[in-house]
Amino acid sequence: MKRKNLLALSQDELVEGFIRAALNQSEALRLEEDAEFNRLFDQMEEIEKELKSRAGDQRRGLIPFYSHPNAQVRYAVAVATLEINREAARNVLEMISERHEFPQAAHANGILEAIKAGRT
Amino acid sequence: MARFDDAQRARWLRPNARIYVRPGGRCFMQPDACRFLRPDWKRFVQPGFAPVFLSQLEGKANFNPNQPRVPKGNPNGGQWTYEEGWRNGANRPFSAGRRPRIGHNQGPPLDEPPKVPENKPATKKEQNGFVKGLARWIDTAKQSKKNPVAKYLLLIEAVSWFDEFQHASIISYQDPPAELNELQEAAQGEPKLGYERHHIRMQKPARDDGFPDSMIDSPENVVLIPYWKHRDITGWFNQKNKDPKYNGLSPTEYLQGKTWDERREVGLEALRIHGVLKP
């Protein structure tokens, strides 16, 4: 998803694109398709950057998805909003970890270790 | 809702229970399956029916028939309590400050268990997809503290095409984290069904960077871990990572040109975050 294409999208469209990519990542993980996972990772990074750059930091549009049924969606929105909604985002990651929602729990545990180590 | 649930369960006890099974539904649950929810469920298991498998799962699910239950007459009467008993009849399954668990108002409910394919899937990939999904679902369900052991039995009974390895791989996935020396010693022992040898510092990246096999294959670098955890960890090494340390790279990319010690650090992190190695 090219940067100039993202500029033309509304906030809702960006958020929808992020969530859809996270759902596709979930499927890529299930099918062990790492290349596809990584392609979607890059796409989501671009969307996140674009949301961040918009007035008021529109990553907050991802916050309502903290209770999404899909663990990959919850993980992705939690990490994307850690900077602007730290405690609640951290709680989401800790819940994924405690519920053993693997493979997402492994990524969540990694971020939680990074938080503990002061890296984020 | 409790009355509705009771009515739903009761229909399975009627002589005409089969009329409530949807066409083709036998692949998922038998009409008299609710007997496995009773405390005396064991007497309904056929003698010799994978007894080792069931007791292994029971052990790993921390099933304890003496665990306190919510007293009769309370809204959740009969269910195992998380805390010890009830105080003044208050419904307090969680102590103050405990994080919400599966099914609690603040957490998404546990997914339904993976649907059992009616016939054995044609490809190994499809079979593995189901087996891996089931292993993960059981691990997640165990964390709910609501004794879902009975649910596992329904699933296992429904699946007639599992082979020994598939059974073993589901059980091994439920292993609690272990000490590093235990994992290393196990790797030096006899091969074990449901487990695989794993290199803490991944083989190919280390070899590509010029480290000799004598170091890569040394006992210090090899552990025995559950099969599906091995697959998960291998995937994790190849997946781009949001931890700032990796700067958007996968751990494998990050480790290019890195030292032997740095590789160990990342390798141990992989084992820890996947619940294989004790923190």
Of the candidates B232, B271, B265, the residue with the CA atom closest to the CA atom of residue A29? B232
> Residue-wise over B37-52: b if at least 16 C-beta within 10 A, else e?
eeeeeeeeeeeeebee
Residues ≥6 apart with Cβ < 8 Å to B26: none
Residues ≥6 apart with Cβ < 8 Å to A61: A11, A12, A14, A15, A51
pLDDT in tens, A62-109: 999 999 999 999 999 999 999 999 999 999 999 999 999 999 999 999
Distances (CA, A) of B200 to B71, B267, B270, B278: 49, 5, 8, 14
Output phi, psi for B198, to 5 deg: -135, 135
* Chain B hits for A105, Cβ within 8 Å: 273, 275
Cis peptide before A103, with omega less than 30 degrees from 0?
Answer: yes
DSSP annotation of B120 reads -
Calculate Rg over the CA atoms of chain A: 14
- Out of A34, A69, A110, whose CB is closest to B273? A110
Q: How far apart are the first and last CA of chain A?
A: 26
Q: pTM of the entire structure?
A: 0.74
Output phi, psi for B69, to 5 deg: -120, 160
Torsion over CA of B185, B190, B194 and B195, rounded to 10 degrees? 30
What is the distance in angstroms between the Cα of B44 and the nearest Cα belonging to chain A? 30
**What is this model's ipTM?**
0.95
Q: Is there a contact between B142 and A31 if contact means CB atoms under 8 Å apart?
A: no
Per-residue pLDDT of chain B (279 residues; tens, 9 = 90+): 555 556 666 666 565 555 555 444 443 444 455 555 555 555 555 554 444 444 555 555 454 455 555 566 665 565 555 443 333 333 333 333 344 444 444 467 777 777 777 788 888 888 888 889 888 988 888 787 665 655 665 666 557 778 889 888 988 999 999 999 999 999 999 989 999 999 999 999 999 999 999 999 999 999 999 999 999 999 999 999 999 999 999 999 999 999 999 999 999 999 999 999 999
A106 touches chain B (CB under 8 A): yes
User: From B106, which residue of chain A is nearest by alpha-carbon distance?
Assistant: A67
Distance CA A47, CA A25 (A): 15
What is the distance in angstroms between the Cα of A56 and the nearest Cα belonging to chain B? 23
Calculate Rg over the CA atoms of chain B: 22
Distance CA A16, CA A59 (A): 12
Tokens of residue B200, six digits: 């803490």
Of the candidates B205, B220, B214, B222, the residue with the CA atom closest to the CA atom of residue B258? B205
Of the candidates A52, A55, A66, the residue with the CA atom closest to the CA atom of residue A22? A66
- Bridge partners for B199 per DSSP: B222
The angle that helices A11-30 and A34-53 make with each other, rounded to 10 degrees, is 160
Task: Using alpha carbons only, give the angle A102, A106, A112 rounded to the nearest 5 degrees.
Answer: 130
Query: DSSP readout, B29-71?
Result: --TTGGGGGSTTGGGGSPTTSSHHHHHHHHHHTT--TTS-BPP
